[in-house]
Chains A and B, each alone.
Chain A
Amino acid sequence: AQTVTQSQPEMSVQEAETVTLSCTYDTSENNYYLFWYKQPPSRQMILVIRQEAYKQQNATENRFSVNFQKAAKSFSLKISDSQLGDTAMYFCAFMKLTGTYKYIFGTGTRLKVLA
């Protein structure tokens, strides 16, 4: 069975600084997707970034980038130039490509951006 672990329950960062959120996962699958979702106080889940496991190149989306280490089963999220609007709960998620599109979510990291 797959598991996703986020070892940082809470983090804070000063506005304009950079922060990295950690995520590790366990799977025997070779083909899968990894995601970071953001849940702001409104509680609407929003996709931040996704990574296909077969791609060696790390995904980037504007200020958000990942460090995907497949052998180490690590998938960290780096937020550059942090903004107050980045304050949210961040969930790492895993989905294997075979089967039922079922996502496995980590327990989340609560990020607070300080003015």
Chain B
Amino acid sequence: GAVVSQHPSWVICKSGTSVKIECRSLDFQATTMFWYRQFPKQSLMLMATSNEGSKATYEQGVEKDKFLINHASLTLSTLTVTSAHPEDSSFYICSAIAPPGQWPSGANVLTFGAGSRLTVL
């Protein structure tokens, strides 16, 4: 099956600094990756859709200058939280879908990374 690796699993930073989170598809090529944010005991909120070789598509209300997404290769997408503030503290999860040709039994199945817990002091 498809595997998505996310790093770091947790990070603590000072207010005003930037933090980068990496999401890698380990055994398949992902033309599309998704970034979610999850608040405690709540559902996943889609932040943006990351498209390889093009600009990310952000959901309404998500600041694109605050949450920079880069999908430079078919196996790597990054989320950079710029000038982080305490209200940016959250659990961030990436995910990807393997194209049907690469994983026929998993067509349209979203595979998730393990998540990254960000704490901004």
Q: Are A and B interaction partners?
A: yes
Contact A45 B108 (CB under 8 A): no
Q: Does A28 contact B (CB under 8 A)?
A: no
B46:A97 contact, CB within 8 angstroms:
no
Residues of A within 8 A of B97 (CB): 101
Q: Does A11 contact B (CB under 8 A)?
A: no
Cβ-defined partner of A107 (8 Å) among B34, B43, B108: B43
B25 within 8 A of A: no
Query: How far does the Cβ of A96 sit from chain B's closest Cβ, in whole Å?
Result: 10
**Please, which residues of chain B bring their CB within 8 A of the CB of A95?**
108, 110
What count of chain A residues pass the 8 Å CB interface test?
23
What count of chain B residues pass the 8 Å CB interface test? 21
* Contact status B114-A43, CB under 8 Å: yes
Minimum C-beta distance from A52 to chain B (A): 9
> Is A102 touching B49 in the complex (CB atoms < 8 A)?
yes
Partner of A105, one of B41, B44, B109: B44
A-side interface residues toward B, CB under 8 Å? Answer: 33, 35, 37, 42-47, 50, 91, 93, 95, 97, 100-103, 105-108, 110
B contacts, CB < 8 Å to A: 32, 34, 38, 41-44, 46, 49, 57, 91, 93, 95, 97, 108-112, 114-115
